[in-house]
Structure 1
């Protein structure tokens, strides 16, 4: 228990400040959104039929308006984060026309403050590797999603060479735990089924902007190359809560 609290204390302290580092400078760069938008466009497409969704680890909500503008107009979104400062930024950044559809609050992924089966889908982006316990976080995501509902974790791909910079990073090094064997064990422990571990075809940065269209063309080509597509920047864990038995 003490290690659980220690881990989350470390994560919360870090993200309350989010000090300058490579990841902060890159992800917060005005030219970077193309790659993050690829991830949220994938989520919006996958969750198109969902009316109540939960995001674990909303952070500063940099892509929240982009995501919700691609979801059904009656979709109700709830976002939680371990740190208060990013949530304040997310509230301030949210487009006025989305205010009535969005709820933001502080919580940790292993202890979600919601009733069972509250959502059609639960997802996170670059967050699962920050959990104190990935199986526990996935079990909570399963608990609060309806029967047959989606659980989706979009994560950095451990095989992408650029991610090697995080091998010794105490905040990010958990990303290297996302292996096929671990994914099977985590989802089994969480009571999830229909596991799919796949790569999202995001290979290139968003800058320089003049290359944006070329990057998109090359990514569509690389996505169809069996070996190379394993080395994209992004890996996705997809699973679902089992349907309730009939009768």
Structure 2
């Protein structure tokens, strides 16, 4: 238990201040708008039928308005994060038209403060590898999603060469644990079913902006190229809570 609290203390302390990391210094923009928007547009398509969703690890909510613009008008969104400073920024950044549909509060992924079966779907973006225990976090996600509801975790792909900069990073190195074998072990332990791990065809960065359309065209091609398509920047873990 002490290691559990130590891990969360380290993660919370880091994200309360969010100091500049290698990626921030190299690329000059911590939000990576094109690549992150690809992920949230994908999630909006996956969750289009959901009316109550939970995001674990909302952070600063950089793409929250973008995401909600693509969700049904009656969708109720709840977001939690281990750090409170980013949540304050997320509240300030959120478009006024969404204020009544959004609830933000502090919480850790392994101890979600919600009743069983509260949500139609639970998701996270670049967060699962920060958990002290991936099976425990997935078990909590399963608990708070309704029977038959979906759990979706968007994660960095360990095979993408750019992610090697995080190999010794104490905050990010957990991303290298995401393999199909581990995904199956974690979700089985969590009581989830229909597990699959897929590549999301995001290969290129957010800069320079003039190449955005070119990047999109190339990614639609690379998505269908065997072997190469395994080296996208992003993987997605899909699972479901068993039906009642």
Measure the CA separation in 1 of the matches of 2:23 and 2:152: 22
1:127 matched to 2:127? The reply is yes
Measure the CA separation in 1 of the matches of 2:144 and 2:185: 20
Give the alignment's Cα RMSD to 1 decimal.
1.2
Aligned residues: 244
Does structure 2 conserve the Cα–Cα contact (< 8 Å) formed by 1:31 and 1:209? no
Deviation at 1:28, TM superposition (A): 7.2
Where in structure 2 are there 5+ consecutive unaligned residues? none
Measure the CA separation in 1 of the matches of 2:56 and 2:28: 19
The residue matched to 1:151 in structure 2 has which SS? strand
**Structure 2 equivalent of residue 207 of structure 1:** 207
The residue matched to 1:123 in structure 2 has which SS? strand
Where in structure 1 are there 5+ consecutive unaligned residues? none
Q: Runs ≥4 in structure 1, deviation > 4 angstroms?
A: 25-28
Does structure 2 conserve the Cα–Cα contact (< 8 Å) formed by 1:16 and 1:86? yes
Measure the CA separation in 2 of the matches of 1:26 and 1:202: 19
The residue matched to 2:206 in structure 1 has which SS? coil
Measure the CA separation in 2 of the matches of 1:57 and 1:66: 16
Does structure 2 conserve the Cα–Cα contact (< 8 Å) formed by 1:197 and 1:237? yes
Does structure 1 conserve the Cα–Cα contact (< 8 Å) formed by 2:31 and 2:62? no
1:222 matched to 2:222? The reply is yes
**Structure 1 equivalent of residue 108 of structure 2:** 108
Q: Normalising by structure 2, what TM-score?
A: 0.98
1:237 matched to 2:242? The reply is no
The residue matched to 1:164 in structure 2 has which SS? helix
**Structure 2 equivalent of residue 156 of structure 1:** 156
Deviation at 1:81, TM superposition (A): 0.1
Does structure 1 conserve the Cα–Cα contact (< 8 Å) formed by 2:23 and 2:30? no
The residue matched to 1:215 in structure 2 has which SS? helix
Deviations 1:66-100 (A, max 9, x none): 00000000000000000000000000000000000
Measure the CA separation in 1 of the matches of 2:136 and 2:51: 25
* Structure 2 CA distance for partners of 1:67 and 1:129, relative to 1, 3 Å: same
Does structure 2 conserve the Cα–Cα contact (< 8 Å) formed by 1:160 and 1:232? yes
Measure the CA separation in 1 of the matches of 2:182 and 2:38: 25
Measure the CA separation in 2 of the matches of 1:27 and 1:113: 36
The residue matched to 1:99 in structure 2 has which SS? helix
Deviation at 1:29, TM superposition (A): 1.5
**Structure 2 equivalent of residue 33 of structure 1:** 33
**Structure 1 equivalent of residue 140 of structure 2:** 140
Q: Normalising by structure 1, what TM-score?
A: 0.97
Deviation at 1:226, TM superposition (A): 1.5
The residue matched to 1:70 in structure 2 has which SS? coil
**Structure 2 equivalent of residue 180 of structure 1:** 180
Measure the CA separation in 2 of the matches of 1:26 and 1:89: 24
Deviations 1:200-240 (A, max 9, x none): 00000010011111000000000001110000000000000
Deviation at 1:116, TM superposition (A): 0.1
The residue matched to 2:104 in structure 1 has which SS? strand
Measure the CA separation in 1 of the matches of 2:118 and 2:31: 36
